[in-house]
Amino acid sequence: MSMLKIKSSTLRFLARTILLLFWSAMAVWASEPNGSSSHGTNIFAPSSTPAKSIADLSIFVLVITGIIFVVVFALLFYSVVRFRGRAMDAGREPAQVYGSTQIELAWTIIPILIVVVLFLATARVIHAIQDAPEPVGAVQVTAIGHQYWWEFRYPKLGIVTANELHIPVSDPSHPTPTFLQLLSADTDHSFWVPELGGKTDLIPNHPNRMWMDPQRTGVFLGQCAQYCGMQHAKMLLRVSVDGPEDFAAWVRAQQSLAVEDAAAIAGRRVFETNACMNCHAVAGTPADGRFGPDLTHLMSRATIAAGAAKNTHDNLRLWIQDPSAIKPGSLMPAMKLSDGDLDAVVSYMETLR
């Protein structure tokens, strides 16, 4: 009977130790950064100063909590194995110890010291990130959260775009960080691109501010992190960090008015007479609705519907025909266009480079 009891407890702790080692290995494996130019969403693969400060502090916290875990687990394991009751003990009680002031003092003071150390290390990083001054060369973006898409405005550059953010890479010796002002048009959202920084919420009537200075080019992924309604899951983020020339080229292209293509005149007429322009804007045309994304340079984007689908002819056609086929709950209504009108409008959209 007692043999079974011994087996049970030792088995349990062996199982736990194995689990521990296994999961640690998984965690290490999972934290390896993705090598391609399309980056992943791993908080331990930072590419920007705030993300890096956070990752460094986090490792420090992990090490300390890891040590605490090992010590306490060892005590627990030891007490379970060493002080297990044996059959011959029946009827005899062990020494009835009520406490020990010295021991209890020790295990009060040591945790307090640990808390002080952790807190001081943390406070430094909080101030470094949140109170960082905005340098003169910084790119300014206003991000406005909508159900379920992102509006990006560059007030100093005169650009209005949606869902895909382009920012310049920042050279540590001459930093060109991007500072975002975060607003919301409806409910709460949260801007989270893990490899570029921690998340900050977009809350109506409560402007927020965050910054990032990516030191690697490429596309960084993220998504809305604060539940904002039915399609919260498909409010994705795509941040393209461009080299200086690429960024300048992108800015120039975005600043220009919509391409005027005579072949698309029929589609443009459908667009302007079917209430599309009540929600959407196309710079240089009468369409200036603000409820939905700006479509002036739609074709410069790799995805549509805030990342829910790739920007291909078929997806675009399906989206305009019936948004709920791609993103049920999206606030864009199905316009019930005839096939001819639909094709015309899609052709028009495809001219908006």
Partner 1 sequence: MSSNAITIPGTQIQTRPWVDELHEWLTTVDHKRLGILYILSALLFLVIGGVEALVMRIQLMHAHNNFVSPEVFNRMFTMHGTTMIFFVAMPVLFGFANYLVPLMIGARDMAFPRLNAFSFWLSFLGGLLLYFSFLGGSGLYGAGSAPDVGWWSYAPLGARAFSPGHSSDYWTLALLVSGFGSIGTAINIIATIVSLRCPGMKISRMPLLVWLNLVMAGMVLIAITPLSAAQIMLLIDRYLGGHFFDTQAGGSAVLWMHFFWIFGHPEVYVLIIPCFAFMSEIIPVFSRKPIFGYPVMVGATVCIAFVSMSVWAHHMFTIGMNSYANSFFTLTTMAVGVPTGIKIFNWIGTMWGGKIQFKTPMLFSIGFLFQFLIAGLTGIMLACSPFDWQLSLSYFVVAHFHYVIVGGILFALFAAFYYWYPKMTGRMLSERLGKWHFWLFLIGFHLTFDVMHIPGVLGMPRRIYTYEPGRGWDTLNLIISIGAFIQAIAILVFVANLIISYFKGARAANDPWDAWTLEWSISSPPPAYNFATVPTVSSRRPLWDLKHPEDPDSRYE
Q: Least Å distance between CB 164 and partner 1? A: 15
Based on the shown chain and the rule CB under 8 A, indicate whether residue 270 belongs to the binding site for partner 1: no
In 3D space, the residue among 324, 316, 151, 333 whose CA is nearest the CA of residue 230 turns out to be 324
Q: What are the phi and psi torsion angles at 213 (to 5°)?
A: -135, 75
Footprint of partner 1 on 45-64 (CB under 8 A): 51, 53-54, 57-58, 61-62
Footprint of partner 1 on 74-103 (CB under 8 A): 75-76, 79-80, 83-86, 89, 93-100, 103
Per DSSP, 114 falls in state: H
Q: Least Å distance between CB 67 and partner 1? A: 10
Based on the shown chain and the rule CB under 8 A, indicate whether residue 199 belongs to the binding site for partner 1: yes
Q: Which residue has the tokens 């993103």?
A: 327
Q: Least Å distance between CB 323 and partner 1? A: 13
Based on the shown chain and the rule CB under 8 A, indicate whether residue 278 belongs to the binding site for partner 1: no
Q: Least Å distance between CB 270 and partner 1? A: 30
Based on the shown chain and the rule CB under 8 A, indicate whether residue 224 belongs to the binding site for partner 1: yes
DSSP letter string, 136-182: TT-EEEEEEEETTEEEEEETTTTEEEESEEEEE--BTTB---EEEEE
Q: Which stretch binds partner 1 (CB under 8 A): 5-13, 137-145, 273-281, 339-347?
A: 5-13
In sequence order, the β-bridge partners of residue 168 are 242
Q: Which stretch binds partner 1 (CB under 8 A): 231-239, 252-260, 267-275, 315-323?
A: 231-239
| CA–CA distance, 304 with 163 (Å, rounded to integer) | 8
Residue 221 has which token pair? Answer: 């992924």
Based on the shown chain and the rule CB under 8 A, indicate whether residue 208 belongs to the binding site for partner 1: yes
Nearer to partner 1, 295 or 305 (CB): 305
Per DSSP, 94 falls in state: P
Nearer to partner 1, 211 or 271 (CB): 211
The crossing angle, in degrees rounded to 10, of helices 265-273 and 339-351 is: 110
List of residues 6+ apart from 217 with CB closer than 8 A: 37, 169, 241, 242, 243, 246
Footprint of partner 1 on 307-336 (CB under 8 A): 307, 328-329
Nearer to partner 1, 202 or 258 (CB): 202
Nearer to partner 1, 22 or 275 (CB): 22
Footprint of partner 1 on 111-170 (CB under 8 A): 111-112, 115, 118-119, 122-123, 125-127, 129-131
Residue 78 has which token pair? Answer: 């030891």
Based on the shown chain and the rule CB under 8 A, indicate whether residue 247 belongs to the binding site for partner 1: no
Query: Radius of gyration over alpha carbons of the chain, in Å?
Result: 28
